[in-house]
Amino acid sequence: MTDQTEFRRYLVAIDSISTHQLFTDCLVIGAGIAGLRAAIEAAEHCNVIVVCKGSLQDSNTWLAQGGIASVLDETDSFESHIVDTLNTGCGISDKEIVDLVVRQGPRLIEQLLRWGTDFDLTDGHIATTLEGGHSHARVAHAHGDETGRIITEVLIKKARQNPNIKIVENFCGVDLLSNDDNKCIGIIGQDKRGPQIIWATNTILATGGAGQLYRETTNPEIATGDGIAIAYRAGAVLQDLEFMQFHPTTLYVAGASRALVTETLRGEGAILRDSRGRAFMKDYHESAELAPRDIVSRAILAQMLKTKSTNVYLDVRHFKREHFAKRFPTISELCESFGIDVSQNLIPVRPSAHYMIGGVKTDAKAATSIKNLYACGEIAATGLHGANRLGSNSLLEGLVFGKIAGQSASQHIKKPGDSGIKHQRIKHQPTYSNRTLLNTSDVRNSLRALMWRNVGITRKAQLLTEAQEIIGFWQRYVMDKTFDQPQDWECQNMLTVALLMTQAAQMRKESRGVHHRSDFTNINDKNFKKHIEITSGK
Ligand code: SIN
């Protein structure tokens, strides 16, 4: 927070006696791959409530196209996947975590297959493809480019069949509740009936990403970084907030919202061309289209500048039409909806904010720095990705750490309902200010434009300072109010996370992975081969 803004532990007034309440052994906040997998695991031992802000379809997992990376054939090896992940992470991945995630992957993907996930197969085995930074074709996919949807549907079905799991959609979590020992004891939020408290013995944050902080993003509207802001207010240690990964290729049609155009297209031979039709990636990296994402994103921006264009193009005209439609049904439909015939026309693309590498710091058991609070999936900073995420390692991480979080949060509970969570008195009245009210939807739009311009693919001190000042100014007028609508809490959370990200980006005076500074263009191992941690200290 800036010194101009008083820190608020809770965004809303709370009186636990007069608020509607639910009790559970384990609360999971978020329903992407990590949240659902955590719920299924925890439900082996205890009662679970899963809440999500929108519907079960509103997640980054649902939109994931390319797939899930893992060692799935005998010509590949754990060592190779580990080395690729570490190399892409640019020196600050946690080796123990990389090892754990890579080695647990195949078993959990086989389990997904047994649970009914309709992975694409070749000769009876899970088919795999290539993405940038992988030295082996190890990206499994389902229904072509509908991998995320297919996996989520299987997990939803499995969760719904389990009597120990209750799913509550359209529940907007506002703040984690903590007791005098600073233990997390649940959440205050709001659903259609009004304010609700869910008391929980253990809580798992799986709220996903923060792409909506940027004007251009592949993320769904719900991805406003709420979990990070909520954990910050509760005093959790956050890590790696300067590392926002930009996806090189999202469909660019002026006026339309951005949509992911999967990297597996490039893995299978799509060529990037500039507005003059020239294939330019070899000018920037020997791996050309399959260079790591940060390099491809910056190359695209540089080429756009050189050719004075708003975008570049993906060329898939050499793909067989029927094969393309079957292998990439989502992209086919998307292009068709904009009148782009991929066998004749180039696909206009440019980079967009895609994946939040940083978040709530967790250990190998998915535990955060707050007692009884766990985190998994995109919101967690496990150290797997280091400074740059290898494509399709995120669904893998969500699957592996979802299971681990579910286990950690439930293993001490003997049977469902046995954890003994009780009502606790919490009373809180935020102080009000009479400063002018800004229109939060204007602030939100302006913030997204500011983040894109000043805290985007390339950063520098002067732009970061300017962003800190402007965000601080908006915070003075938005953080001092008490709201009762999700879109206003989202705006408060976005301002909180934006400022923290900008501060972290300012602190890292070097270029590493997805964090590129035009004023410090080199990697600086002496001072920055480490993680930047931030906490409110509350
Ligand atoms: C893609 O399909 O290109 C996205 C996959 C990912 O971000 O891991």
Task: For residue 527, give the CATH number of its domain.
Answer: 1.20.58.100
* Residue tagged active-site, from 8, 149, 293, 350: 293
C-alpha–C-alpha distance, residues 179 and 198, integer Å: 14
pLDDT at residue 362 tops 60: yes
Question: If pLDDT is split at 50, 70 and 90, which confidence band does 286 have?
Answer: very high
Q: pTM of the predicted model, to two decimals?
A: 0.96
Q: Tell me the best of 260, 356, 357, 390 to mutate to test the pocket of ligand 1, counting ligand atoms within 8 Å of each CB and taking the most.
A: 260
Taking the C-alpha atoms of residue 191 and residue 185, their distance in angstroms, rounded to an integer, is 19
Ligand 1 centroid vs 196 CA: distance in angstroms? 36
Question: 57-61, 253-257, 434-438: lowest mean pLDDT where?
Answer: 253-257
Pair (271, 309) in one structural domain: yes
- 8 within a domain of the structure (yes/no): no
Query: What one-character DSSP code corresponds to residue 520?
Result: B
Residue 449 makes CB contacts below 8 A (sequence gap 6+) with 215
Q: What residues line ligand 1, using a CB cutoff of 6 Å?
A: 64-66, 260, 262-264, 355, 391-392, 394
Residue 270 and residue 380 in one domain: no
Same domain for 142 and 29, yes or no, is yes
Kindly report the number of other CB atoms within 10 A of residue 24's CB atom. Answer: 26
Instruction: Report the CATH number that the domain containing residue 332 is assigned in CATH.
Output: 3.90.700.10
Q: Return the ligand 1 atom nearest residue 147 CA.
A: 2
**Confidence (pLDDT) at 5:** 58
What's the pLDDT band for 184 if we cut at 50, 70, 90? very high
**Of 66, 313, 340, 26, the residue nearest 185 (C-alpha):** 26
CA of 365 to the centre of ligand 1 (A): 26
Per-residue pLDDT tens digits for 126-178: 999 999 999 999 999 999 999 999 999 999 999 999 999 999 999 999 999 99
pLDDT at 236: 98
Asked if residue 108 and residue 211 are part of one domain, the reply reads yes
What's the domain count of the chain? 3
The CATH number of residue 94's host domain is 3.50.50.60
Q: Do 401 and 463 share a structural domain? A: no
Last residue of a domain, one of 334, 352, 370: 352
Mutate which of 145, 247, 293, 388 for ligand 1? The one with the most ligand atoms within 8 Å of its CB, which is 247
DSSP string, 231-285: HHHHT--EE-TT-EEEEEEEE--TTSPP-B--THHHHTT-EEE-TTS-B-GGGT-
Q: Is the pLDDT of residue 3 over 70?
A: no
Residue with the larger pLDDT of the pair 8 and 162: 162
pLDDT, mean of residues 235-264: 93
> Residue 414: what pLDDT?
87
435 in active site: no
> Tokens for 81?
């996947």
CA distance 497 to 211: 11
Looking at the structure, do residues 233 and 146 belong to the same domain, yes or no?
yes
What mean pLDDT is reported for the chain?
Answer: 95
Question: Is residue 4 over pLDDT 60?
Answer: no
Residues 395, 328 share a domain: no
Q: How large is the average pLDDT for residues 8-18?
A: 94
pLDDT (average), residues 412-429: 88
Are residues 216 and 339 both part of a single domain? no
Do 336 and 362 fall within a single domain? no
Residue 48: inside a domain, yes or no? yes
CA 404 – ligand 1 centroid, Å: 23
The ligand 1 atom nearest the CA atom of 391: 8
> Are residues 527 and 446 part of one domain?
yes
For residues 222 and 139, membership in a common domain is answered with yes
Angstrom distance (rounded) from CA 371 to CA 97: 21
* pLDDT band, very low/low/confident/very high, at 371 (cuts 50, 70, 90): very high
pLDDT average, residue stretch 82-88: 97
Average pLDDT of the segment spanning 55-59: 94
User: How many whole angstroms from 265 Cα to the centroid of ligand 1?
Assistant: 10
Residue 176 falls inside a structural domain: no
| Separation of CA 481 and ligand 1 centre (Å) | 38
Tell me if 177 is assigned to some domain: no
Determine, yes or no, domain membership for 16.
no
Same domain, 218 and 362: yes
Q: Which residue from 61, 65, 244, 393 has its CB within 8 A of the most atoms of ligand 1, so it is best to mutate? A: 65
Q: How confident is the model at residue 1 (pLDDT cuts 50, 70, 90)?
A: very low
Amino acid identity, position 364? A
In a domain, 329, yes or no: yes
The 8-class DSSP code of residue 33 comes to H
Q: Above 70 in pLDDT, residue 26?
A: yes
**C-alpha span between 109 and 248 (Å, rounded):** 27
Give the range of the structural domain holding residue 480, as residue numbers without chain letter: 432-532
In a domain, 318, yes or no: yes
Residue 424: inside a domain: no
Q: Identify which of 421, 423, 412 has the alpha carbon closest to the alpha carbon of residue 42.
A: 412
